[in-house]
Every structure is written in C-alpha cells, then in structure tokens.
Structure 1
Amino acid sequence: MDAFTTRCSGLRIPRPSIPNATVELQRVHLHTGVSAYIPESIYVNHGPVNVTDVSYCVVSISYTHTHRIEVVNTEVWLPTDDMWNGRMMGLGGGGFYCGLFFENKRAMLGAVGEGYAAVSTDCGRRLREDNADWLLDRPGKVNLHRLEDFASVTLNDAAVIRKSVVESFYGRKPDHSYFSGCSQGGRQGMMLAQRYPDAYDGIVASAPAINWAEILVAGYWTQFTMNQLDSYPRYCELDYITNMAIESCDDLDGVHDGIVSDVDACDIDALAMVGADVPCGEETVPLSTSAAIVANAAWRGPTTKDGVNLSAGVSVVSNLTNDFSSQCSPNGICSGLPVIYSSDWIRLAIEKDARFDLKTMTLDMYVKIFNESVEEYKSIIGTDNPDLSKFSQRGGKILSFHGLVDPMIPSTNTRRYYEAVTEMDPTVQSYYRVFEAPGLGHCWSQSGLYPSTIFDDLVAWVEKGQAPPSLLASFTDATGVKHDRVICPYPERAIYNGHGFPCSLDRLVLQQRPDL
C-alpha cells in the first residue's frame, strides 16, 4: 500500500474544527484511475479538460451548527502528491443549489485533473429537496437559518474545512487558494470577498447573482406583463424581435458579424415592428402588439405605475425565449411559462405560501412584493456591499465576466455594482476587474465571446502580478468561421479601428469593416 493510499484514511485525517459547529460524520474515499472529458459548459471560467487516469482522495464532512438541526455537507477532493500543484480551488453552485450537485462534481473533477485540491459544499440544501421544503418551515414561516447558511455562513465554513483538511493531508498549507463560480457561484464569490476577505486569495465571480432579492422578483416581470395583457406571444415573434435588434445594431462596433458589442448604443422600440411578417413554422404571421409590449417590458425591466424603474431589464439582444416566454400548442393556443426561480421565490420567500396564485397579482401587488423582498432579504443575501477594502488590503484579486445577452441576470446589475465599488475606491482596477462579454448568454453559451482563460488570468494576476489588460476569447460565426477577439475591462470596449479590435474608451467607429 503506497503512502497516498495510506493517508487517504479517516484515521489519518483529523476532523476539522468549524466555528459554532459540530462534525457529525467524516468519511474518506479513494478514487483511482478516473478518466472523463469535462466540457467548458460545466467547468465554467475554464476551458475543457481531458481528465486521464487520475487518482484522488475525497474527504466528506457532515456537520451541524449549534442549536440547529440542518446537516451541512462539504467535500474536499485531494489529488496525488505528484499531481497536486500546491493550490486550492473552491467551486460554487448554480440556481437554488449551493454546490455538490452532479455538474458541480464534474467541475471538481476538472479541477483535480488540472492539479488543484478542490472543495465545495451543499450549504445544507439536500439535492432532491424541493424549494418549498427547503425555504419554508411551514406555511407563513421562512427558515431563515437555512437561508443564512445558503447565503454566506457555510461558504466560510467550507474555506475553514479545506484549510484544515489540506494541511493535515499534505503536511503543509496550499500556496494559494482560489474560488471559481458563475451565477449563484458568482454571487458566492462576491459574498466571500465582502464578508470573508481572508478565505481566498483570488476569486472569479462571473455573472454573479448579486442583488438577489431584486433580480428574483424582477425575473418574473416579463411573465407578469403577459398575465396583465392576458396574451402570451409565440416563440417565433419574440425571436424575430431579438433577431431584428441584432441586425439593426450589429455594425455599431465596426464589423458585421452577428454579435452586438456596443449594446448601450442599440436603441430599439419593438412597437415599431408591429405588423411585420414573422416566419413561424410553416406559416407567416404578423407581429402582434402584445409581443412588442412584452419585449419592451423585458428590456426596460419592472416599473411602478408612475414609470419608475425598480430594477434593470435584459439587453435588447438577449434571447427572450430562453427562460421567460410562453408555451404554444399546435393549434396556436399559448400559455405562460414563468421562470421557476422567480415564481418560487415570490410564492415561498415573500408570500410564504406554496399555493399562492401568481396570476392574481396586480401592479400594486407586484411593486409591494418587490419592495418586501428587498426589505426582508437584502441584508441576508443581497451580496451587493461595495466595500471591498479588507479584501483588497490583504492583496486579494477578483475577475468577473458577464455576458451582454444574459437572459437570466441582466449584465447591468454587475456593471452597477462595479460602478458603486469604483465610486467608493477609484483604484478598483488594481484588484477588481469586470469584463462584459459580447454575444454571450448566461455563464456559457455556444455563441458569443466566452473567456475560457479567465481563471488562469486570475492565477497569473495573484501569483505574478500580471493584471489582465483584456481577456482572450473567440466565437464561430454563422458560416462556421472562427474569429479571435478580446474582451475589454469595463468601461472600455473593443471597437474595430481598421486594423483590429483594441480596447478603448472611445465609442467612435473609425472604420467599417466589410461583412465577414
């Protein structure tokens, strides 16, 4: 029996000491000869990884916090000594799951395949537990302990656990510790930087679900608009509107390639398209007024009856049929298809009633629900504190990308947060940079500019002091041709200047490039 196999034993790895918690169970498993292909769509913030014949030790910790009954599970995956690169990687979750679901574990395998020790946690949320059982103690009462664990507490617990386990297993501390996440995982990364600045040296927090209490209610706005109209546009109508917006604004960055880089300059009113012929399956239908109203509502975001914006809308080139559209039967009858995260949050966290009928909402009720969500939960899971001074002072670095066509979390939210940090600290670019990715959807999509090197760029920044002036990315156009581009740090943007796409604050298109 070799030394690694011997060390991969529950008897050899002491139980970690977790603040205000008791370890109930510690299990250790040895995995040998594991091979798998991990695509970048799973291993977000990274490129694809071919894991080949790797062995690693999995340490599973189950614990409870003092005076609570919820069991939290955290796992640390430890590669062999000859494969370990001396670094640690925490991996975040997605949706209403904190971590340790199937895709997350595949991402952990990708990390191990690259030589990292990896850690993730379920935050006390059981994998097959529905949202009602997770959020509600009973009708009328939210389980705030569980929400606090999910929002922040267990994220720091996982950092404490991995420090203890790694040092016990390898006999030394990791040289550097990093966190990688997108969406919910991006929010987790920002929460760690804001509340637990000593947990990680570097964080990639992409498409972060900050302003949680706002974006979940805002995510129901388009569906609410359909309900108010009692009209549910077909997919083909909303897709047509999006395609027309892309076509109208494609040239704003100086090149016609199917990707809109200068979204801010894209000024579109869907009502101007009403009556246009829309290909819809084997027939052509006129674009309806209701489809135009729904598109405009999605772009603007939720508003009061006086027209005051409550939250940002999606960009005019976002895919409106991705998450909040309608289902249509062959006879053309359409019905609403709400975003499950938003509808469940309103029912469970705000109304505290799993049977609440969302279609009964009036505009006054919607605004009231929006405000109640912010008032009740911003302090718990808002994750939008712009004070990153403690994280920056200890030398921490943050990189973040956000797709400009993200249909789930408007990229404007990340931009506004970054601007708030900048207002507090004009030196923000010395430790935190945000990159707006043209054409990219939520976290990863086949189209658009996906920065697969962002995590490696973070490592170079932390360990070598090499701040990335831009991120490399590429996309394949409709003709199958691959194009290499850069993504610029906000507020810069890449505009074709007759020779290439340099990052610049200048919005002027110096020279139009012929169609690709």
Structure 2
Amino acid sequence: MAALQNTLALHNCSPQAIPYPTVFGAQFLSVEASLVQNYSQYVPSQIYPNHDSINATNLRFCNVTVTHTHPGQNDTLITQVWLPIAPKWNERMQAIGGGGWVAGLFYVSFAGMAGAVAEGYAAPWNVNLYALQDFASVSLNDAIIIGKSLINSYYGQPPKYSYWSGCSQGGRQGVMLAQRYPNALDGIAASAPAINWPELFGGMYFPQQVMNEMGSYPHPCELDALTIAAIKACDSNDGLADGIISDPDACHFDPYSLIGSTINCHDSNTSIKISKAAAVATEAAWTGVKTSNGSFLWFTPGYEANLTNPQSSPAVTECSTNGTCTGQPQPLGMDWMKLFIKKDPTFNAFNMTRREYEHMFHAGVREYQSIIGTSYPDLTEFRDAGGKMIAYHGLADEVIPFRSSRQYYDAVTAVDPLVHEYYRLFEAPGLAHCNGGAGAYPAGTFDALVEWVEKGIVPETLRATAPSNQSRILCPYPQMTKLNSSTGDEVGFESFYCS
C-alpha cells in the first residue's frame, strides 16, 4: 500500500499532471512541482498566529509553485501550495498570511505552511508583488483560486472547507478577502489586522515627530519606567493584580506626575531623573496622533505597549555612552513617508513641522485609502455567503493600535447590528503584537474558527494562557472579561466571566 501511495504521489506531483488554473485576467507563465519528504520543523506559536505551537516531523508533501501575470500590468506573482500526501490531507485548505510589506513566502509564512501541512491542511500563498494593487487585494483572490484549483487537480476533489490564517499584514489580508471577495473562504482568522493602512503607517511616526519637535530624545529607561508606572497604577482596576491592564478605558495615568523622579537604568547601571521630554513622548504614544491644534487624527498604542523595542516600537531612542540620545524611527513608517508619499528616498523627515506632518498624514489617506485601506465596513455579502471571521488583538500591541480594530468593528456593527453572528473580535490584555508580552495568548483561535464554521459552535469565549502559565478567558468585544468575586487564590479559566 505504501509503495502504491509513493507511486501515485510521484506521478501526481509533476508539472505534467497539474493543469494551469483558470483566473480571470491572468496569464500563467509556469508551473513547477516537486515531492518533499522527511521535512521537519518546530513551529512555535510566535510565528504561527492563531495556533498553538506544533512540532512538524517527517512531513511528505507536493510543493507546487505557479507563476502568473496580469497582461498589461508588468507584474509577476508567485503562488506556492504545499499539498500533503494522501491520506494525510484533511480535505481542507488553510492559506497563510504575510507580515509587514511581505505578502508571503518568507520565514514566518514558511513556518506557518509547515504547521498547516502537519495538521493536514493544503497551504497556498503569494510573493513577488510588483504593484501595490496586487499586494493590497488582487493577489489574495488569485492565490485562493489557484490554491483551490491545484488541490482539485492533485486530489481529484476541491477542499471541503477553505480557511485563512494571518496576523498583522496577514490579518489585513484576511479582512480584505472578507470585504472584496466574500465568497472566497469559509473561515478567516484575521488577528491584529493592519487595516486603515495609511492611517496606521502615518501614525506610526508620531512619537518620533513629537521628539523631533522638542529636539529632545529621552533615554529608553525613562519610557520603560513610565510604562511600568502606568501598568502598576491601573493593574487592579479589574480586581486582579496580575501585571496587565484589562480595562484600558478606565486607565488615566498622568506621565507628567513622575517628572523629576529618580530611576535606575539597568542597561547602563546609572541613575537618572525622568524628564519632561519623556512624559511628552510617552503621552504621544498613549493618547493618539494629534494635529497642531490638538485635534485627533488616529490611534497610538496605549499604556501597556512596550515603547522601546528596537524591532517594533514607535518611540525608540538610541543613546551613546555619554548619555546623548537620538530618535530611531521604524523603517515601516519611514519608508511609507519617503517612498509612497514623498516618492523621494532622500526625504528628511526629521525637520518636519507639525503642520507638514499633518499634510503628510492626510496625503497618504487621500492617495492610498481606496487601494489598501481595508476599512470597508459592509460585510453583509460575506455574511450571506456563510463566512465566519475571528480576530484577536493584544491590548499591549506596540505596532498596530488595538483601538483600530475596535473602530473597525464598531463601523461594521453600525452597518449590521447582527455582526456578532459571523464576526467576533477578542481583546487580549497584556498581549503584544500578535504574540509576546505578559498577557495570555489564545492558541486555540483557529480551532475555534473551524468549529464555528463546520459544527456551528459559536465562540462565546477564547481560552488563553500567559507565559506565567496563568490562564484566562477572552471575551468578544464589546464585552469585557471580569473576575468572579467568589474565586479563591487559584485563578484560571473558571475565574472569569463576560460582562
């Protein structure tokens, strides 16, 4: 039997056995297929969002790569699908999202594809997108159509169910599929989605803009100290002292109250005083992007977010041994202003006035919102197609402000008050961007989505576990997780309820 399966796998896993898919407006350039055997990879949940960690061992799959173009657009798109060798296929497809400016086929999506194949899913995705429109939406639908076609060609049947799993850029891609291609998928896990793309990327630079205007850049330990103080001040608002803020709306910590306080900077083993510049920069990262007259433009991360992570935070500074510090803006925000708005890679953002920054912010929204904004609130076609969507968003997300997900969910609710029947957003206190931080991570998000789609089991809560092994439930927005006053010393899933 095993010999027969190997023979069939080798025969089916060849370019000659796989016809070109049919995608309107596309011209296919090539198809490649190769049999992969004994492939193993440990896939931690940190790079497999919506899932628990999985140890993928001895995988056998057909790696199919299809290249196509849209004539007249001078673009090239590559779709790769990993097809588990029968009988390991579970008759489903799970498409894996990208991150940042990467659509897919980088280390995170490769890890996600390995995890998906280990669970029996066929897993497609795209890369090499030379046009923003392809990146924003067109390639997403192409990938799903191609994935389904290749599955049908290889197994002789289409997938019974088709899913999407992504976070950040991958979350935005999932939401875009629900908006523009409502019939493409049965279920979408679209966590911490980078929707409202122009506002997100324009706002990402705001704390740096504020520091530039002051001409003063506080030491990272000052910002860290203010973050710790805010968490300590607001931690117990929910009745549980666990080092996280469960109700950010009830937190009103004043960073100016600690100006002049002495703190110890552990990295340099020196004592310094918290400066006014630190309070101003921290307030900018907590209370939103503001115009020169104080009007609100967009959201910033909030009290819990790590503001000084060099890889992802918006208020990063770098200090020399003599104590002089400079701002270190994130490349994502800088590239947005230089390449997409100013279209000048030499543009110097450090000298912008607040008015110039406002013009930059609005210009990005005007030019790109309709292409990649991903903020269209009418999901009734996705609802009518029977689709289901789940998202979680960490309240300590340092990259994508959690209030952007709230704002979108409220906008969808305004169109359809019954949104809760097919789309649910879960807020995760203390959780950083997609994962990490002190908060609890809902590893079973994707499994909950599958149960909702296939068995009609509504996800009333998500179970989540923190690095400290403390467990809790997450409640669907706008409900909040409340501590049961009758609980004892042990705090777990049963210690909470939704209100």
For structure 1, the 5+ residue unaligned runs are: 126-145, 506-516
Output the CA distance in 1 between the equivalents of 2:320 and 2:96: 40
**1:408 corresponds to which of 395, 399, 408:** 399
Aligned-residue Cα RMSD (Å) equals 1.0
Please tell me whether the aligned partners of residues 123 and 155 of structure 1 are also in contact (alpha carbons under 8 angstroms): no
Structural mapping, 1:468-507, within 5 Å:
468-477=459-468, 482-498=469-485, 499=487, 501-505=495-499
**2:32 corresponds to which of 27, 33, 39:** 27
Please tell me whether the aligned partners of residues 26 and 62 of structure 1 are also in contact (alpha carbons under 8 angstroms): yes
Output the CA distance in 2 between the equivalents of 1:149 and 1:28: 24
Task: Encode CA deviations 1:316-355: one digit per residue, 9 max, x unaligned.
Answer: 1111112221011121111110011111001111111000
**2:108 corresponds to which of 91, 103, 110:** 103
Task: Encode CA deviations 1:416-462: one digit per residue, 9 max, x unaligned.
Answer: 10011111111111000000000000001152111000000000000
For structure 2, the 5+ residue unaligned runs are: 1-5, 488-493
Give the secondary structure class of the aligned counterpart of 1:495: strand
Change (3 A) 1:446 1:37: farther
Structural mapping, 1:76-475, within 5 Å:
76-122=81-127, 124=129, 146-281=131-266, 282-322=269-309, 323-324=313-314, 325-475=316-466
Please tell me whether the aligned partners of residues 68 and 77 of structure 2 are also in contact (alpha carbons under 8 angstroms): yes
TM-score by length of 1: 0.92
**Counterpart in 2 of 1:16?**
21
Please tell me whether the aligned partners of residues 49 and 166 of structure 2 are also in contact (alpha carbons under 8 angstroms): yes
Task: Encode CA deviations 1:43-66: one digit per residue, 9 max, x unaligned.
Answer: 111011111111000110111111
Alignment identity in percent? 45
Task: Encode CA deviations 1:48-85: one digit per residue, 9 max, x unaligned.
Answer: 11111110001101111110222111101100111000
Give the secondary structure class of the aligned counterpart of 1:310: strand
Give the secondary structure class of the aligned counterpart of 1:160: helix
Please tell me whether the aligned partners of residues 440 and 467 of structure 2 are also in contact (alpha carbons under 8 angstroms): no
Please tell me whether the aligned partners of residues 9 and 35 of structure 2 are also in contact (alpha carbons under 8 angstroms): no
Give the secondary structure class of the aligned counterpart of 1:77: strand
Change (3 A) 1:476 1:41: closer
Amino acid at match of 2:370: S
Amino acid at match of 1:318: A
Deviation at 1:370, TM superposition (A): 0.7
**Counterpart in 2 of 1:129?**
none
Output the CA distance in 2 between the equivalents of 1:504 and 1:445: 24
Output the CA distance in 2 between the equivalents of 1:303 and 1:196: 35
Count of residues in Structure 1 that have an aligned counterpart in Structure 2: 481
Output the CA distance in 2 between the equivalents of 1:484 and 1:98: 33
Give the secondary structure class of the aligned counterpart of 2:297: coil
Deviation at 1:33, TM superposition (A): 1.1
TM-score by length of 2: 0.95
Deviation at 1:123, TM superposition (A): 5.2
Amino acid at match of 2:164: F
Please tell me whether the aligned partners of residues 95 and 184 of structure 1 are also in contact (alpha carbons under 8 angstroms): yes
Please tell me whether the aligned partners of residues 13 and 34 of structure 2 are also in contact (alpha carbons under 8 angstroms): yes
Please tell me whether the aligned partners of residues 123 and 154 of structure 1 are also in contact (alpha carbons under 8 angstroms): no
Give the secondary structure class of the aligned counterpart of 2:17: coil
Deviation at 1:244, TM superposition (A): 0.3
Please tell me whether the aligned partners of residues 483 and 497 of structure 2 are also in contact (alpha carbons under 8 angstroms): no
Deviation at 1:6, TM superposition (A): 1.2
**Counterpart in 1 of 2:56?**
51
Output the CA distance in 2 between the equivalents of 1:419 and 1:176: 29
